[in-house]
Amino acid sequence: MKSTKKPAALDLKLSEFLCFAVYSSNLAFGKAYKPMLERLGLTYTQYITLVALWEQDNQTVGSLGEKLFLESNTLTPILKKLEGMGYLLRQRDPEDERQVRISLTTEGRKLREEISEDGFPQTGLDPDDFEQMQKAIVKLRTNLIRSTKDRE
């Protein structure tokens, strides 16, 4: 004979959701970065785009999108805005006209000098904890990407 009891509802607690901890931490990062970004006149996504270009200039839109985990249709308006602000140039690759290369202008390179260490959010983590946390988050991201690709 089958049981007529309903299965117990999952005991879900928001405070135990890893995704919520990451989401709410992201919101906190946004608030912490806000003063520096407002001073620079940038959004966070524009800022990380420039950081990726400061790290490696003259990238294709595709390679930049991969580094930033952004689709081309999301990245292109950001690049257009940064180009309009005078921080970068978008040019067709002379060796492959299908590719668009992104390079910093002199103004884009100078902007890096306006960023001081005191503008970065203070995490309260010591250097070892900071490194462990960063590695754990990268591992989490890698695992999540892999699990979603497995379902596609």
Give the torsion sign (CA, 86, 72, 68, 31): positive
24-118 has CATH 2.60.40.1930 classification: no
The one-letter amino acid at 144: L
Report domain extents, the chain: 24-118, 122-152
- Taking only the tens place, the pLDDT of each residue in 71-103 is 999 999 999 999 999 999 999 989 898 999 999
- Taking only the tens place, the pLDDT of each residue in 12-59 is 899 999 999 999 999 999 999 999 999 999 999 999 999 999 999 999
Under DSSP, the state recorded for 122 is P
* Residue 39 near residue 65 (C-beta atoms within 8 A): no
Q: Which residue stretches of 41-105 are H helix?
A: 44-55, 61-68, 72-84
Structure tokens at 26: 């992201």
